[in-house]
Amino acid sequence: GKATLINQQPAVGPCHVSIAPSGRYIMVANYGAGSVEAFPVREDGGLAPASGFVQHKGASVHPTRQSGPHAHSVTFAPGGRYVYAADLGLDQILCYLIDEPAGCLIPGEIPVTHVAPGAGPRHMAFHPGGRFAYVINELNNTIIAFAYDRENGRLTEIQTVTTLPASFTGVSYCAEIRVHPSGRFLYGSNRGHDSIAVFAVDEETGRIEPVAHTPTNGSWPRHFNLDPTGRLLLVANERSDSIYSFRIDQETGCLTPTGYSITIPNPMCVVIIPGC
């Protein structure tokens, strides 16, 4: 399980990295600079210098969080043809293609999808069936369900739902989003409410319905992940220095604490390596 540094390349305020399905490139979202970059992956697993770079431009309505672009994540669509950048500062989902073999980034056929002003799109997840995509919005605590057109990359909004219970009146910010490997359930984390929102997915329409809100047994669940079998969910509670595991009910999607946890300073991401 030991990790050995191969090499490194400079970036400008990176906050999120995604590996292309082909394994030939990684995409990086630079939150501070409001830009995205593509890096070729060498045969030894190291990174070559950036082959593609796009600087986002503009602003949106929030006076402090949206005074400029803030690319928060980059997500490859199934098949790897399109890659989407969720820009919290612009209230936009931007679509790109990696033009091979040069590795340049070019706009997709539908280059921009706008979301509600002040929503603050943060992360994105695709349904395993390949027909739907879901975006979690940090600033207004919602999830948008989209129909995804694999031919041209178009995202068409189906519905928008809150991640919080109606009774909650405090301050909270969404963080991570994941679709269960079965495609039947969707999960989103709430920092402030300190919960995982559980939704049932209609696999015919892509619509989601709330099922439960499960406390994360800690503070500020910045990230979580599901194991490849879809039986466990592990959540990183950034401000309480803990990672907790939950068992996933395969019929309802509901979460039950396993009783296992670890203490680790400021956990911000959970990555599960298959086979380890």
Looking at every residue in the chain, the average pLDDT score rounds to 97
Q: Judging by DSSP bridges, how do beta strands 52-55 and 71-76 pair with one another?
A: unpaired
The span from the CA of 223 to the CA of 55, in Å, is 26
Query: What is the pLDDT at residue 2?
Result: 84
16 vs 201: CA distance, rounded Å: 26
96 and 204, same domain (yes or no): no
Confidence band, pLDDT 50/70/90 cuts, at residue 276: low
What total number of domains does the chain contain?
Answer: 2
Selection from 10, 74, 12, 7 nearest residue 43 by Cα: 7
Give the pLDDT of residue 185: 99
Do residues 199 and 149 share a domain? Answer: no
Indicate whether 81 and 216 sit together in one domain. no
Assess if residue 25 is contained within a domain: yes
CATH number at residue 209: 2.130.10.10
The Cα 99–Cα 97 span in angstroms is 6
Answer yes or no: do 174 and 263 share one domain.
yes
Q: Provide the CA 247 distance to its chain's centre, in angstroms.
A: 21
pLDDT of residue 252: 98
Range of the domain at 38: 8-117+145-153
Q: Is the pTM of this model over 0.85?
A: yes
> With DSSP H G I counted as helix, E B as strand and the rest as coil, what are the percentages for the chain, rounded to 5?
0, 50, 50
Q: Which of 19, 34, 26, 89 is nearest to 52 (CA)?
A: 26
pLDDT in tens, 146-191: 999 999 999 999 999 999 999 999 999 999 999 999 999 999 999 9
Domain contains 158 = no
Give residue 85's pLDDT.
Answer: 99
Give dist(CA 133, CA 138) in Å, integer: 17
Please indicate, yes or no, if residue 239 is contained in any of the structural domains: yes
Kindly state whether residue 139 falls inside one of the protein's structural domains: no
